[in-house]
Each structure stands twice: as C-alpha cells, then as structure tokens.
C-alpha cells in the first residue's frame, strides 16, 4: 500500500515516522509542501494512494472523487480544524475519514497568550527598534482587569481562558455550544457580538464555519472599543482582512497578531504588510515537537486502522 502525507509539521519529523510505515509494508510519499497543495496537484496525485494524511490542503469533493477513481480508501485530517475537508464527499465516495481532535489546545493557547502579552507591551516593536540601533520605550497596557472577548470555547479556547484568568483578566466567551467548566467559572458567556464594546482584546480560537466567516468585519470592528487589540490563532477567514486594514488605518484597531490569514502563505502584495504594529505568524501555533509527535501518532494509528493494518 501507499500513503501520501501533505501535513508540513508532520513532514518535519518523517525520519522518526517512516519506520512505522515500513513495519506495516506501507510506502510513504512526502512531497515538498510549504503550506498546502492545490486542488489540481491533489487530483493528479491522490488516485495512486491507498491512504492520505491531510494537512490544510483543500480536500474537496473533486479531490475525493479522483481518489475514489483510483486506490484511495481512507484519509485522516492531521489536527483539529476540519474546515478544509469535505467529510460528506468522502463518505459519499466510500472513503473513511477522521481527524485528531484535542491534540494541541495547550500549545495554541500558549501562542495566544504570548500574543496577548506582545501586543499589550509591544515587545516585538522594542526588539525591532533595538536591532535597528534605537532605544524604544513604548508605554504598554497592564493585563490585570482588562477584558478579553474570547471567540470559541472548545479545547483551545478553554486552555486560553485558563491563561487569561491567571493573568487577572476578565473573559467573555462567545460559543453557541458554551458549557461551564470547573475551574473556569469566572468566564462569562455571551452571544456574539453582545458586550464587544467592553473588550480590550479580541482573541479568536474557534473553528471556521459558514456562520462565522468574517465574524470580524467592518460592522463588528465599529462596535468594538476604540484601540482594541486583535489576535487570531484559529482560521484566517474569520477576519475580513480588508476591513481589518481599514480599522488599523483609522486606529480603531490598535494592533493585531495573526498566525493565520485568508490566503496562505501571506501574499507579497497583502495590504496588511505595511502595518508595523502587527505581528505575523505562519500558521504555526500548534507546532511543537511534542504536539506534532502526539498528533502524528494519532493520525497514523487511525489510518492504519482504516487500512486494516493496525
């Protein structure tokens, strides 16, 4: 059997994982992937494989149909987010599919909290200035008693809330499936965008759905407190980037930390690039050796089970 792997974090540890595939008599292919392969690349590749470990690639109906026309029997989405995978199409084509939830809530929450501190104290701008030979001393804001609008209260959101509460911050959580959690009783649920004007920071940790596409847009930015700081460690299309550019230009948004974008990698011509008060990531919030190993082993075991070689 043959398996295709297109998840960049997992590809970085393939020397460790290849013997596991070899022990199952599975040939594994690891094409060079910066962020994702295109639909056309996948349509061409996928029919020759029995299994596929998916990264953030467009696992669309036509990709799965092409897989079904060849050998594809099963696929596993590496990680939590599944907005790029058409599960209905996979099922319609008789292809077994799953993801690996709850693998790195703590790791992504660590990055979210790091961004909160960086935007509050502008540590990244100080670093740039000192490297350039100047001695910048911006006055930041204290975290204590500041309010965070936390969008998403799943595994990542809950781990983020723990860190925010530990910093004596107030947390308003927006999640249609909100459930109270022991130890997080101080988190206050609300229906989006109620109380958004109270927030000093907005942190996005939710899954991307058709209902929350561009949840941050011109209307919601206008409703927010002037000078709000925005953090996205979830999915790029949660933010209307054109609206964010306008809000940054008018200083309605003080600054933003974005690990994800509407188009990835971030285009060279992106209108976000000139804003020095922003931190840009590379969709890398979950990427620690520990988390990658944990999610990869889970993905492999699921795939082996689907292929009948567990």
**Active-site residue set:** 235, 264, 283
Strand arrangement, sheet containing 147-151: 188-190, 170-174, 147-151, 201-204, 228-232, 253-258, 278-280
Per-residue CA distances from 217 to 118, 222, 279 (Å): 23, 8, 19
CA 64 to chain centre: 23
Q: What are phi and psi of 143, to 5 degrees?
A: -80, -40
Which region holds residue 152: left if phi is over 0, alpha if psi is between -120 and 50, else beta?
Answer: left
Cα–Cα distance, 4 to 14 (Å, whole number): 12
149 bridge partner residues: 172, 202
Contact 228, 198 (CB under 8 A): no
């Amino acid at each position: 059997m043959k398996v295709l792997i297109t998840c960049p974090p997992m590809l970085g540890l393939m020397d460790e994982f290849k013997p596991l595939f070899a022990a199952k008599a599975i040939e594994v292919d690891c094409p060079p992937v910066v962020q994702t392969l295109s639909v056309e690349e996948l349509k061409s590749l996928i029919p020759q494989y029995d299994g596929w470990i998916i990264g953030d690639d467009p696992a669309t109906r036509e990709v799965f149909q092409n897989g079904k026309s060849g050998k594809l029997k099963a696929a596993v989405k590496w990680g939590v987010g599944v907005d790029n995978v058409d599960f209905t199409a996979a099922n319609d084509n008789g292809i077994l599919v799953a993801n690996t939830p709850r693998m790195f809530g703590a790791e992504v929450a660590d990055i979210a909290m790091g961004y909160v501190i960086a935007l509050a104290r502008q540590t990244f701008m100080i670093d740039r200035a000192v490297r350039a030979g100047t001695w910048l001393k911006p006055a930041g804001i204290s975290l204590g008693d500041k309010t965070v609008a936390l969008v998403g209260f799943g595994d990542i959101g809950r781990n983020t809330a723990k860190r925010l509460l530990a910093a004596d911050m107030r947390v308003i959580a927006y999640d249609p499936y909100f459930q109270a959690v022991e130890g997080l009783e101080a988190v206050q649920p609300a229906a989006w965008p109620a109380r958004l004007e109270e927030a000093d920071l907005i942190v996005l940790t939710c899954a991307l759905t058709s209902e929350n596409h561009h949840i941050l847009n011109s209307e919601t930015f206008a409703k927010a407190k002037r000078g709000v700081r925005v953090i996205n460690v979830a999915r790029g299309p949660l933010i209307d980037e054109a609206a964010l550019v306008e809000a940054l230009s008018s200083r309605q948004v003080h600054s933003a930390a974005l690990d994800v974008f509407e188009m990835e990698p971030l285009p060279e011509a992106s209108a976000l690039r000139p804003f020095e008060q922003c931190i840009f990531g590379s969709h890398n919030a979950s990427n620690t050796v520990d988390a990658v190993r944990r999610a990869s082993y889970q993905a492999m075991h699921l795939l082996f089970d689907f292929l009948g070689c567990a």
